[in-house]
């Protein structure tokens, strides 16, 4: 059979890595796909820029639409990123009857519903394994490997920058600001790091995972998102003393009332495997009713790891080129007409345990007053610890772990505690998940 011609939009880290993997492993890829796969054209902003890939035999252009409108190209690899002009490029490629492979999580999270509808209309495929957790084949695992299960919940470390920062804070007792500067120097974090450290990147990825896990439309706007910039060395230390580690998790859980979608710092028991995922690595824990808990671990970013997922998608598309569109694996795991708009719960209806840290005057009766407020809101205390007061101050730090409770009750209790004249400043609240 004649080779399948591929066009690449974007020759940055992921695009360059993808070109390298497709060329380096060409013979093995052809054996798997059943046909040779050839990159014939690629677009880039700067034709003179040095690259990490060999572009010999590839026609370069600064106009992506030259590739999108090329009738000989069957598969478009969208590796530019972002969700602005790229959305129009992808929709035009689909309109032209081309299959699309992308690593663009924001594009899928924000516009995936529209994009998949267009793909279904034109009978083509949009593949996006690389959009979540880089080289970890988590989408294929949930969509295909676990398709016999009802997914009960999933929890993932799906942003390497945040995980690197929290790991350094724990291992080297450093503060957030200093580690963030190092992450920027190493290229893990951008000059404006909010996308990573405030949880937006993880929320994009969780949007995709939740849709595949539960058969719901993509709903990025309904995810509760909280960053790690307020986590202190003290919180990391106290958590460790209690047998926990703090990780920035994306959590999706199906309940009788609806679905919880949340990204936030989380205490998890140090004995859990996912608690020991360090540095820039990613991991996703998925609980199915038949299989039980399963853990997927690997590199969440980087040229070759992400290219691994992109190329795997290309192979899948090539294998499906001659198949009936109705018999292909659905984009979001469930048949398009079977997606169910299960309600996504507001944050006040989350049910979880909590770590609380507060500063209070070092005198009798203060702790009793705090515990009274918690009890009035049906919040049971699992553990409590009062730290030694500083010699220069008359306040002490009180650390508490609670049992599972409703978030709106915790919100009300914290407001009352902060209003006490014997309590100084804000109460630090970090959610706690046992992931059992």
Kindly list the catalytic residues: 205
- Picking from 276, 248, 236, 263, the residue whose alpha carbon sits closest to that of residue 428 is 236
Of 122, 67, 116, 130, residue with least CA distance to 87: 116
Helix (H) or strand (E) holding 27: helix 26-33
Nearest Cα neighbor of 104 from 75, 74, 135, 132 is 132
In the block, residue with structure tokens 């292909």: 328
Q: Are 223 and 249 in contact (CB under 8 A)?
A: no
Cα-Cα end-to-end distance for the chain: 50
Q: Which residues contact 393 (CB under 8 A, 6 or more apart)?
A: none
Contact call for residues 339 and 116 (beta carbons, < 8 A): no
The closest of 178, 202, 203, 180 to 192, measured between CA atoms, is: 180
Check if the beta carbon of residue 278 is closer than 8 Å to that of residue 245. Answer: no
CA distance 396 to 393: 8
Strand, helix or coil at 78?
strand
CA distances from 279 to 38, 256, 300, 403 (A): 36, 36, 11, 30
Nearest C-alpha neighbor of 297 from the set 279, 281, 309, 310: 281
| Segments in 56-199 forming alpha helices (H) | 64-68, 85-95, 105-122, 138-140, 160-172, 176-185, 194-197
CA distance 82 to 89: 11
Q: Which residues contact 256 (CB under 8 A, 6 or more apart)?
A: none
- Please give the Cα distance from 154 to 133 (Å, whole number): 14
Q: How many CB atoms lie within 10 A of CB 188?
A: 22
């Amino acid at each position: 059979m004649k080779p399948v011609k591929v066009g690449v939009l974007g020759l940055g880290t992921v695009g360059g890595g993808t070109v390298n993997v497709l060329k380096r492993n060409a013979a093995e890829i052809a054996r798997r796909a059943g046909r040779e796969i050839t990159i014939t054209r690629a677009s880039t902003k700067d034709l003179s820029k040095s690259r990490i890939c060999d572009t010999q035999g590839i026609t370069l252009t600064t106009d992506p639409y030259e590739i999108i409108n090329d009738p000989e190209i069957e598969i478009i690899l969208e590796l530019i990123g972002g969700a602005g002009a790229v959305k129009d490029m992808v929709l035009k490629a689909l309109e032209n009857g081309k299959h699309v492979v992308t690593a663009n999580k924001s594009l899928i999270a924000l516009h995936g519903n529209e994009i998949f509808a267009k793909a279904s209309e034109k009978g083509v495929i949009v593949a996006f394994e690389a959009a979540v957790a880089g080289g970890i084949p988590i989408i294929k695992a949930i969509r295909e490997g676990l398709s016999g299960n009802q997914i009960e919940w999933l929890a993932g470390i799906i942003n390497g920058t945040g995980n690197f920062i929290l790991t350094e804070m724990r291992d080297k007792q450093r503060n957030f600001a200093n580690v963030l500067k190092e992450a920027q120097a190493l290229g893990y974090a951008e000059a404006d790091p909010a996308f990573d450290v405030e949880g937006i990147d993880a929320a994009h990825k969780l949007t995709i995972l939740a849709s595949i896990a539960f058969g719901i439309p993509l709903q990025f706007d309904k995810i509760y998102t909280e960053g790690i910039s307020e986590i202190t060395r003290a919180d990391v230390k106290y958590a460790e003393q209690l047998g926990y580690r703090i990780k920035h998790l994306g959590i999706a859980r199906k309940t009788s009332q609806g679905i919880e979608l949340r990204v936030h710092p989380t205490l998890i028991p140090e004995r859990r495997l996912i608690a020991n995922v360090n540095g820039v690595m990613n991991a996703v824990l998925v609980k199915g009713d038949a299989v039980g808990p399963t853990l997927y671990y690997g590199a969440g970013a980087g040229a070759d790891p992400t290219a691994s997922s992109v190329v795997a998608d290309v192979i899948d598309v090539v294998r499906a080129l001659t198949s009936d569109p109705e018999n292909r694996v659905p984009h979001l795991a469930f048949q398009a007409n079977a997606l169910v708009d299960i309600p996504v719960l507001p944050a006040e209806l989350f049910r979880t345990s909590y770590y609380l840290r507060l500063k209070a005057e070092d005198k009798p009766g203060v702790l009793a007053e705090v515990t009274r407020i918690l009890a009035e809101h049906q919040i049971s205390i699992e553990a409590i610890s009062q730290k030694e007061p500083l010699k220069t101050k008359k306040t002490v730090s009180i650390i508490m772990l609670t049992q599972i409770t409703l978030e709106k009750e915790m919100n009300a209790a914290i407001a009352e505690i902060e209003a006490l004249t014997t309590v100084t400043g804000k109460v630090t609240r970090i959610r706690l998940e046992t992931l059992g």
